[in-house]
Amino acid sequence: MKINREFHNDGIDSHSLSQEEWVVQIMDEYQDKVIRLAYTYVKDRKLAEDLAQEVFVKCYIHKDNFRYDSSVKTWVYAITVNLCKDYLRSGWKKYIHVIDQFGKSRASSVLTPELSIVQKSEHEALAEHVLKLPLKYREVILLFYYKELTVCEISEILNKKETTIRTLLQRGREMLRRKMEKSR
């Protein structure tokens, strides 16, 4: 019963909820995460919010297509990634270069103000380099490190073999390392 265990780990039980209640629960759980994930593709906050709305509309419409062979999180992220890729291919894309704060700042209270500024600056530089990676590397880096998904989950979301995901991660890390060394 691996399927049910994964599904219940999401904390969303579709069997006892109406379709509307189910989608509201998914939105409560994943809205911010979906917006951040969409932002990593489109690099525009308002557009990411619009795409997130579309993701949840698709969840509502396609609830019956959810097969329970993956977690709700994986399913929602897959819809998000596919919508973002569709948007980027559509010709309506806009390239707005804005650096996102990936996750909350993890600055420790023992850091001096000077060290906090240096840490923030390094974090922003890394984020900028990640956003400049080619899409195939950027998406696996972001899903693995910022969304903390497993290689298996990323494989399901992107519909690629796990070995391909591992290779993309390795090459993406190497590209990041070289970019960071050049910028010093």
Q: pLDDT higher for 109 or 133?
A: 133
Residue 111: give the domain boundaries. 107-184
Q: Would residue 99 count as lying in a domain?
A: no
Question: Each residue of 110-157: pLDDT tens digit?
Answer: 556 655 565 556 667 777 888 888 989 988 988 888 788 899 999 998
Same domain, 82 and 118: no
* Residue recorded with tokens 């990593």: 40
Q: In this model, does residue 97 exceed pLDDT 60?
A: no
Name the token pair of 145: 């490190």
Q: What is the mean pLDDT of the chain?
A: 76
Q: Which amino acid is at 64?
A: D
Q: Would residue 71 count as lying in a domain?
A: yes
In this prediction the pTM is: 0.56
Region 172-181 average pLDDT: 84
